[in-house]
Every structure is written in structure tokens, then in C-alpha cells.
A and B are shown apart, each in its own frame.
Chain A
Amino acid sequence: MSDAPMGTKEPFIRISKRTSIGKCRAWSIRIIALLLSLIVSGLIIYAIVRMSPVKVYVSMFEGAFGTTRRAWITVRDTMMLLCIGVGLAPAFRMRFWNIGAEGQILAGGIAAAACMIYFGAVLSGPALILVMVITSIAAGAVWGLIPAVFKARWGTNETLFTLMMNYVAIQLTGYCVSLWENPFGSNSVGIINQQTKAGWLPSMFGQSYGLNVVIVLALAIGMYIYMKYSKHGYEIAVVGSSENTARYAGINVRRVYLRTMAISGAVCGIAGFLAVSGASHTISTSTAGGRGFTAIIVAWLAKFNTIVMIMISLLLVFLEKGAVEIASRYNLNAYASSIITGIILFFILGSEFFINYRIRFRSGKKEKEVAAE
């Protein structure tokens, strides 16, 4: 660009792709973006409730971690979000836009709930849970495989396909809810096996959500190793960067699509199992509750690194719980958390640009230097 012909003006801003950026620098850009977004959200909250932004964040902290019970619920929800994010990571790494986590969670949840209802009295505790895990995994995997089959065979657009599968799953859940409703006419399934607690995940460390944490963290670490050090993980990365390269290198792209989506759906199915067996002990159309969408953002922002996802999930859940706290103090509704989440994500998404690209302004200085020489 510098050897532009005479008479053409040099553009005011020049953008070029960075070849590399230090980890430290990249993270400082992200943290600046995060701080900026917190300031903006703080100002918005101030404008609405006239509460000092610092106080806002203090009471948000109390909302998320104020009591042991609250802290555990925050941890439980973080693990849930993390689990879904872990499930999405390999699919996204492969550039397969799995927007269908919501549906895959519900498929897993329906399977788990069905086992609890139909086998609750037949099977003993551990056997029942084993059956539930297996059916949930299978259901999630099937739900993920359906779009993958069509993508692999005919190149059907997976973003739109998986999106539609969510709503099919939601209606299917609605169907199951009215099938299993208890008590009759309540239009909800109620707590399943409330007396016998059959199919409920046992408590661990004296905490009813302890086992959730162990399972999800194991999944996260396992997925990290799978994606980073296994042959499969390497194939996923190659297909993700360039399908043609992958084909040239002799990778069976179709098989990678199918295998990865089965894994992705299966992990989301486990998330559904955890939601039913390890948390709510019921099933409803809001069992997934939009977390399938939020987790996409978690996976993307973490750059598919499942360890980084822990922090991002925690941040998002913290915001949600905090906003609920503020909303209830001021008698407002809790949707404020979505506004704040949205703003923060906008800023972080925008900050990626400054990590990937270098910006130079047309400066008078450079020209002067040239003239001085």
C-alpha cells in the first residue's frame, strides 16, 4: 500500500492480519474489553436503579456466593454450562456449527426421565443410574448424528438443521410432559420418584451436587486431552481448518463428521442426564433453558479450550445469579442479567478483532520522518 501511485490518498486506517500475538498481550486485550463492558453495564444499571455501580457488583457477588447454598447452586449451574460447552467444543473445532445443543440436552433429559419413570421400581440404584447414563448418551448422540448424517452425505446446512432440531426436541419434551404428567392436570411431571429417590445422583462430600462437579470436570479434562493429544483430535482440527486439506491427507471427512457429532451430542446428552438426575429431578420444556445457546458462546470465547471454559462459564453464571439478586432487591425482573451478558459478550467478541488484526492509523509522524531523511 505504501507504493500507492501519486495522487491517491493513503487510507486513514490500515488493517492487517497479525501473524502472531503474545499470550500475555492477547489476554490483556480481553481483560480490558471485560472491564470496559463491566463499566458500561454498571452505568446502565446505575441509570435504571440509581445504585452505585460498585455496590451493584458487591451485591451481585453476594447473590452468587453469599451463602453456602447459593455458592453451590452457582457451582452446579457453572458445571452444567461447562458440560454443554465441553460437548460443543469438538464440533466447533471442526467448524460444524452445532446450534442444536438445546435439543441434544433435552433428548438426553427425556431418556433419563423415561428410565426413572419406567424402571424406577424395577432396577436397583446403581443399575438404574447406569441404564440412565447409557440411554441419555445414546439419545444425545442420535440427536446430534441426524444432522451430521445429512451434512456428511449431502452437505445440508448444519446450522439451520441443528437449530430446527431444537424445536422438534422441545415439542417432543412437551409431548412427554403431558404423557407423564403428575398429578394429572398440572401440566408438569413433578419431582420424579420423590419418595424412593430412585435414579437420583447420590450426594458426594455431603453435597448433593458434588458428583456433578466430579463428572463434569472429568469430562472437561478428558475432552482437553482428546482434542489436544489424540489422533482423533488432530483429525478434527484438520477438518476444521480445511476440508480439502483433510481429504488430501487421506482423512475420511465423513467419518470424522459423524464420529465428532456423535461425541458432541453424547456429551450434551450427559448434560441432560445431569440436569434431570443430578439437579432438578424433573423434566420440562425449560430443562435446557437456553443454556444450549449460551454454551455456544462459552465454547467460542474459550477458543475450544475446555479448561478456559471453566472460567467463562463461571463468569456467565455469576452474572446471571448476580443480576437475579439485584432484580429481586429492586423488585425488577431478572432479565437484566441477559442485558448484561449481552453487553459483555459484545465487548469480548469485538476484542477478538484487536487480537487478530493490527491497526495502524495514517500518521503525520511517519511522513515527517521520511521528509527529514
Chain B
Amino acid sequence: MTQIIALFSAAIVFGTVILFGATGEILTEKSGNLNLGVPGIMYLGGIAGLVGAFFYESSAADPLPWVGVAVSLICSLAAAMLGGLIYSFLTITLRANQNVTGLTLTIFGSGVANFFGGSLQKLAGGVGQISVATTSSGYREVTGLADLGTVGNLLFSYGFLTYAAIVIAIAVSYFLKHTRSGLNLRAVGENPATADAAGINVTKNKYLATCIGAGISGLGGLYFVMDYTEGTWSNDGSIERLGWLAVALVIFAMWKSDKAIWGSYLFGVLFWMFLYLPGLTRASLELCKMLPYVVTIIVLIVVSMRKKRENQPPASLGLAYFREER
């Protein structure tokens, strides 16, 4: 029993990282932009939050957790949205290829994050690795509900971003399904020429969706840095792998952010299952870690075979729109 709870807790923490990434990417892809820069954006969001908190903690005499949280949240959102803005400018205004631009953004973001993550302490004249324990404790603070036995342990023992991820995912889902602006956005993603003819500002919609989506994705990086690794940094490329898993989750959830919630936890279970399966050797453990990707591929194939309209990717996904080119 305790093992199952431990597995689910680990899965929820893991899932939250990719849930942020996937929710942001769903919003972006609904506008027709396939942003393969999600890992880069998560990197940017993570490192900016860390750097912000680092400077706050090293400048303040007596750093307060909530100020650190606020500073790092703002820095993280700003950096991630800036990443989204670079992508938007290149693909929407300058009509560069989306796949290539996204991959470049991933290279750039991982470079920026790993460079500063590894060297910031040295550049600031200190030694060792960065650690922002105070801010991180602010992120990991739990309410009294966590003490309520098994249920409390399972449901309430996480930092506030865990719940924020769920709220944002539901909000994005509601926005896309039930509001007029959401409908407009979907129209842009399905057929920008038609949307344009209907008087919807295609450029504005694409810019906003991509930048806000990037901001949400960036929170995944922040959550990873502050909660998952407790305010430290390591150059092991794990954010990049999580970023690609987030892209996978978008497919798995079939572009629906409410479905991404349980999807993300399922990915978490699949990812951590090897710890709790008896009799695994080191070799078969590697095969076990393959599961989330294999499951995604199967979903991708099944979706394309069944051809149900509402499960398809946005029709203009990956294509640039140029009004004069009709």
C-alpha cells in the first residue's frame, strides 16, 4: 500500500512537469504552430526562475520564501514568453520553417540554461553549485491537509504549482471549448485563410497563443527546478527529455488539455514503475523506461487510423500562413 502511494506521489510530481509543458504546447498547437522548442522553453523558464531567486537570495539579508517565489515566477514567465516571442517572430512574421525554428530554440534554450546553470556561481564569484533553498521551500510548502493520513498524503502533499497545473489545464480546456476567443483560435489553427476571411486577426491570435503557451510550458521547467530538484541545477539534460515527453503527451491527450491531466500522471506511473516492479534487471529496466514513448506511438497510429474528426491534430499544424498566397 505504501509502495503504491509512493508510486502515485512520484507519478504526480513527475506528471506535473510535463503537464505544464503539454498544456502550453496544446494552446500553441491549436493556433497551428508546431513548436518543437518546448524543451528549450522549459529550460529557459527553469533557469530564469533559478537565476532570479539566486540573485534575490544573495542580495537580500534575510530572504523570505514568498518573495523568492514571486521573483522567480516573474522571471520564469518572462524568459519563457521571450522564447515564445522569438519563435513567433521567426515563424509568424518572418515565416521561417516551424520545425527548424523550434529545434533551434531547443538548442538555444538548453545552451542558455546549462551555461548559466553550470557557471553562474563561478561568474558571481562563488564556488560549487547554485542552491536556492529558501525559495524552493516556498514552492514546496504544503498545507495542513497533508497530515490527513493516506488521503492527505496522496492528494495534498505537494507544492502549490502542482495544483496550479491542474487549474491551468482545465482553464485552457474551457477556454478552447467554451469561449468565443477559443473558437477563433481553433479556427486559426484549422484553416487560417477561412479565419482571416471571417475577420479574425490571424497574426494576433497566433502570437498570443504561442507566447502564452510558452509561458505555461516554461512553468514546467520552473516546477522541475524548484520542486523536483529542490532548487538546484544539474547539467544532465533531464529537462530536455521531459520536454519531449511533454510533446508526446500533447499527442497522447489528442490536443485536449483536460485529458492531458490524467495522461501526465499515467506517464508518471509508466516512468517510475520500474522502481516498484519486482525482479527487474538493469537491462530490462531500460526497456521499461521505453513505455511512455511506445504508448505515444501507438496512440498516434490509432488516432490516424480511426480518423475521428475531433481527435485529429489542427489541420494547418506546422504551416506558415501568408495572406497573399491563397
Contact = CB atoms under 8 A, between A and B. Distances in A.
Contact of B289 (A161, A171, A293, A296): A171
Contacts of A187: 282
A99 B99 contact: yes
Given A156-B300, A178-B286, A349 B97 contact: yes
Contact of B111 (A16, A48, A342, A357): A342
Nearest to B103: A293
Nearest to A341: B107
B112 interface: yes
A350 interface: yes
A175 B107 contact: no
Contact of A179 (B34, B114, B123, B283): B283
B280 to A, nearest CB: 11
Interface stretch (A127-135, A214-222, A332-340, A362-370): A332-340
A167 B244 contact: yes
Interface stretch (B152-160, B167-175, B291-299): B291-299
B165 to A, nearest CB: 22
B95 interface: yes
Nearest to B303: A156
Interface size class of B (residues with CB under 8 A): 35 or more
A66 to B, nearest CB: 23
B313 interface: yes
Interface size class of A (residues with CB under 8 A): 35 or more
A172 B297 CA distance: 15
A161 B118 contact: no
Interface string A78-92: 000000000000000
A218 B244 CA distance: 34
Contacts of A335: 110-115, 118, 235
Given A150-B304, A353-B94, A17 B324 contact: yes
Given A157-B313, A167-B244, A167-B293, A336 B94 contact: no
Nearest to B114: A335
B115 A333 contact: yes
Given A157-B313, A167-B244, A350 B94 contact: yes
A97 B108 contact: no
A1 B108 CA distance: 39
Contacts of B232: none
Contacts of B325: 17
Contacts of B304: 150, 154-157
Contact of A175 (B235, B244, B283, B324): B283
Given A164-B297, A349-B90, A171 B286 contact: yes
A342 B104 contact: yes
Interface string B270-310: 00000000000111111101100110110011001100000
A338 B290 contact: no
A274 interface: no
Contact of A352 (B34, B96, B284, B313): B96
Contacts of A346: 86, 90, 101, 104, 108
A175 B287 contact: yes
Most chain A beta-carbon neighbours within 10 Å: one of B89, B93, B107, B318? B107
B193 interface: no
Given A154-B304, A296-B103, A165 B114 contact: no
B266 to A, nearest CB: 16
Nearest to A299: B100
A333 B130 CA distance: 14
Contacts, number: 163
A99 B98 CA distance: 13
Given A150-B304, A171-B289, A293-B106, A165 B90 contact: no
A46 interface: no
A331 B119 CA distance: 9
B107 A345 contact: yes
A136 B150 CA distance: 52
A165 B122 CA distance: 38
Most chain B beta-carbon neighbours within 10 Å: one of A17, A296, A333? A333
A161 B300 contact: yes
Contacts of B86: 346
Contact of B251 (A160, A166, A345): A160
B81 to A, nearest CB: 16
Contacts of B118: 332-333, 335
A154 B94 contact: no
Contacts of A300: 97, 100
A353 B97 CA distance: 10
A160 B107 contact: no
A115 interface: no
B147 to A, nearest CB: 39
B90 A332 contact: no
Given A17-B325, A99-B99, A164 B286 contact: no
A163 B38 CA distance: 13
The 10 A-B residue pairs with the shortest CB-CB distance, nearest first, are A342-B108, A338-B111, A174-B286, A353-B94, A339-B111, A171-B290, A335-B114, A156-B304, A333-B118, A335-B115
25 contacts: A17-B322, A97-B99, A154-B304, A157-B251, A160-B296, A161-B301, A163-B247, A164-B297, A164-B300, A168-B290, A171-B290, A175-B283, A178-B286, A290-B107, A294-B107, A331-B122, A332-B119, A333-B235, A335-B114, A340-B111, A341-B111, A346-B90, A349-B96, A349-B104, A350-B96
Interface of B: 34, 36, 86, 89-90, 93-97, 99-101, 103-115, 118-119, 122-123, 235, 241, 244, 247-248, 251, 281-287, 289-290, 293-294, 296-297, 300-301, 304-305, 313, 318, 322, 324-325
